Chain A
Amino acid sequence: MSARAETGLWLTQRVSAAVLALCVAAHLVTIVLAVQGGLSAAEILGRTRGSAAWAAFYATFVLAAAIHAPIGLRTVARETLGWRGPTLEAAAAAVGVALAAMGWRAVAGLFA
């Protein structure tokens, strides 16, 4: 892969990591507050359904994870398995698409 593409992946992973740091922190704080408040699953869904803000937050969270994870897995596969070339790039992209599809489906379940 070219220097420009490698640098682009490196930059993309750093930016997605920064987004993830914020999202994970907000997610954990939300969990702790919800559990301490004694909210049931139905009560949580009552707050997230129809909320564009929660949907946007978790859709962003999913997007950052779907971008960040495949880039890291690609590196792990190259270093530990010696896997390189177009098949690895395709597999990494497929992991990203799968993560995004599953994550956004879950977000849709929270919203709709």
Chain B
Amino acid sequence: MVPGTLDVALWRGDAGGGAFRRYRVPATARQTVLDIVTWVQRHEDPGLSYRFACRVGMCGTCAMTVNGKPRWTCRTLVGAAARDGKLEVAPLANLPVVKDLACDMTEFFEKWQRAEGRFQPRPGADADFAVVPPDSAARRAADAGIECIGCGVCYAACDVVAWNPDYLGPAALNRAWTLVNDVRDGARERRLRAVAGDAGCHACHSHQSCRQHCPKHLNPTASIASLKRAAAAAALRGEL
């Protein structure tokens, strides 16, 4: 490695296949992995495709596989991710590649819909403001998972998604759990039925890769475990 440079390998290809291409990138203080990818596109290879938007860890669009681990690249410092000055960046696992480092997120978000991961107000909910005590157990449970930015890191890290492509995945199930705990929502039973099928919460093995890699430090495994218990209780009550 030349002093002051990084040895960077970026995956180039499409859904049909591809390979890593190597670049030498100047090392600067506190640069992020996204800075590296952007430098390559602007100075070495204008044809490189990747996706980003906010650059401040809010939009969830820039996730990639960095040295084998799924990460949000805009908030990952090279110093924390590089090994011996080497960086290998690939598209997220478990998702189809569009081109180079950009994945097709369609299936990921369709699974949110399949998990009924959208707010559905109770009938008459628009009559008055809902009073939701912030320290109530349900609200605390919802708050624990509410900061998901939909980056897909947990989905890429999940072994069960790799084994069962129909599995709804940690993010969709985590979203469903936040809504199960939303007292303003009126679709609890339908949502529990949606997430308790053969590709839903009961398929989770609690490996906790989602928790390990979530850049927002959420714990989707705990949300999924809670969904399992809620579905079981609903089944015992004859509501499922």
With A10-B202, A10-B228 known as contacts, the answer to whether A4 contacts B235 (CB < 8 A) is yes
Kindly provide the distance from the CB of B238 to the nearest chain A CB, expressed in whole angstroms: 9
Interface locus among B14-22, B68-76, B171-179, B192-200: B192-200
Interface presence of A80 (CB below 8 A):
yes
Say whether, besides A4-B235, A11-B235, A79 and B164 are in contact (CB < 8 Å): yes
**Which residues on the A side are within 8 Å of B192 (C-beta)?**
3
A1-23 interface (Cβ within 8 A of B)? 1-4, 6-11
Q: Is A105 an interface residue (CB 8 A)?
A: no
- When A and B form their complex, what is the total count of cross-chain residue pairs whose Cβ atoms lie within 8 Å? 45
Contact of A6 among B202, B234, B236 (CB under 8 A): B202
We find that the number of chain B residues with CB closer than 8 angstroms to chain A is 20
Which residues of A49-101 have CB atoms within 8 Å of chain B's CB atoms?
75, 78-80, 84
Asked whether, in the complex, the Cβ of A3 is within 8 Å of the Cβ of B164, the reply is no
List, in ascending order, chain B residues with CB within 8 A of A3's CB.
192-197, 200, 231, 235, 240
Query: Which secondary structure characterizes the binding site on chain B?
Result: helix
Judged by a CB distance under 8 angstroms, whether B183 is at the interface is: no
Q: Mark B158-201, 1 if CB is under 8 A from A, else 0.
A: 00100110000000000000000000000000001111111010
The yes or no answer to B222 lying at the interface (CB within 8 A) is: no
B232 at the interface (CB under 8 A from A): yes
A102 to B192, CA, bound (A): 38
* B189 CB → nearest A CB, Å: 10
User: Could you tell me if B164 and A1 are in contact, using CB atoms closer than 8 angstroms?
Assistant: no
Contact present for B232 and A1 (CB under 8 Å): no
Which of chain A's residues have a CB closer than 8 A to the CB of B197?
1-3, 6
Main secondary structure of the interface of A (DSSP, over half): helix
Query: Which residues of chain B are near A80, meaning CB under 8 Å?
Result: 163
Report which residue of A7, A10, A75, A84 has the largest number of chain B beta carbons within 10 angstroms of its beta carbon: A7
Q: Which of chain B's residues have a CB closer than 8 A to the CB of A84?
A: 198
Q: How far is the CA of A3 from the CA of B193 in the complex (A)?
A: 5
A84–B167 CA distance with the chains assembled, in angstroms: 14
Chain B residues positioned under 8 Å from A1 (CB to CB): 197-198
User: Closest CB-CB distance, A17 to chain B, in whole Å?
Assistant: 13
Name B164's closest neighbour in chain A (CB-CB): A79
Other-chain contact of B164, A2, A9, A78 (Cβ < 8 Å)? A78
- Residues from chain B with Cβ under 8 Å of A79 in the complex: 160, 163-164
Residues of B near A75 (CB, < 8 A) are 203
Give Cα A36–Cα B115 distance, bound, in whole angstroms.
55
Interface residues, chain B, CB within 8 Å of chain A?
A: 160, 163-164, 192-198, 200, 202-203, 228, 231-232, 234-236, 240
Top 3 A-B pairs ranked by shortest CB distance?
Answer: A3-B196, A79-B163, A10-B202
- Interface residues of chain A, those whose CB is within 8 Å of chain B, are 1-4, 6-11, 75, 78-80, 84
